[in-house]
Amino acid sequence: MKIDILRHNSMSWDNEVEQKTEWTVPATCEQIEESRKGNIQIKITPVKSVPQEWIGNVSGKKILCLASGGGQQGPVLSAAGAEVTVLDNSPRQLQQDMETAERENLKIKTVLGDMRNLEIFSSESFNMIINPASIHFIEDVQPVWSECSRVLLKGGKLLTGAVNPLIYIFDYSDLQNRNKLIKYSIPHSDIDTFTDRQKKNYIKNKIPFEFGHSLEDVIKGQIDFGFSINGFYEDNNGGTSELDEYINTYYALLAVKN
Ligand SMILES: C[S@@+](CC[C@H](N)C(=O)[O-])C[C@H]1O[C@@H](n2cnc3c(N)ncnc32)[C@H](O)[C@@H]1O
């Protein structure tokens, strides 16, 4: 069964916006106001805010919010004085950024695209890239690290939120039924492991397909493309995941381009 993953996931994230799911709710007026005062609160994992020292003073800095549509990180960073570009694969997620920018009288550039292809940006044109938990919607992460390395200035920062691959050894619907049967290996691909019936269900209900990347593909991948890892923390899913009581299912990386 041939599936255009990019297209399907784009429509699925548009659908998530319609459903108002957790990663599609734009920043509030209060968050924007706080950011204007210098209190920048952004998340790249579900619960914890990114440490202020990871972000630093963003005034006048060029920031790429990568696969980061939805009106969260982009508007908050723009309110703090950054020159923000948001790239995302979902038109509806980008619309949230435009609407939030308009509501708050902010200037944000939005680009519809694939996080693996940043050819529209010149080399060494950004000070920082914010990549909230989104790499598990693509099959291959190395092109992302390669492109991030290219478009960042030397000393530029890449902030990545990611999912602990461990969650992908379970079937998502099993987990929802509190059934922790180990089913899949890592790296995981929904496309390679799902039955045609499961795939048809995802297509019909516009559920994004996911991929569980090994820690080596993510962490060593960034190192291999010229980054030093300068910061790390773990996070959970705010008590909504069956695994929250056992393990932190998210992690965040601060990588600096050498
Ligand atoms: C978990 S959401 C994170 C976004 C949101 N700003 C947040 O942090 O709440 C994942 C985002 O990745 C985007 N995405 C998925 N695949 C993508 C791709 N190949 N290229 C660019 N964006 C992609 C989705 O459209 C979605 O907006």
Residue nearest (by alpha carbon) to ligand 1 atom 15: 137
Q: What is the pLDDT along the chain (258 residues), one digit of tens a residue?
A: 899 999 999 999 999 999 999 899 999 999 999 999 999 999 999 999 999 999 999 999 999 999 999 999 999 999 999 999 999 999 999 999 999 999 999 999 999 999 999 999 999 999 999 999 999 999 999 999 999 999 999 999 999 999 999 999 999 888 888 888 999 999 999 999 999 999 999 999 999 999 999 999 999 999 999 999 999 999 999 988 889 999 999 999 999 999
Distance CA 68, CA 89 (A): 9
Ligand 1, atom 27, lies closest to the CA of: 69
Angle, alpha carbons 102-16-162 (nearest 5°): 95
d(CA 88, ligand 1 centre) in Å: 6
Select from 3, 45, 88 the residue to mutate for testing ligand 1; criterion: most ligand atoms less than 8 Å from CB. Answer: 88
* Cβ(14) – ligand 1 distance below 6 Å: no
- State in words which class domain 5-257 has: alpha beta
pTM, two decimals, is 0.97
DSSP string, 164-230: -GGGGGB-HHHHHTT---B---SSEEHHHHS-HHHHHHHHHTT----EE--HIIIIIHHHHTTEEEE
Is the shortest distance between the CB of 70 and ligand 1 below 6 Å?
yes
Interval between CA 194 and ligand 1 midpoint (Å): 22
Query: From the alpha carbon of 43, which atom of ligand 1 is closest?
Result: 8
Question: What Rg, from alpha-carbon coordinates, does the chain have?
Answer: 18
Residues 6+ apart with CB under 8 A from 151: 64, 118, 121, 122, 123, 124, 125, 126, 129
Residue with CA at minimum distance from ligand 1 atom 20: 114
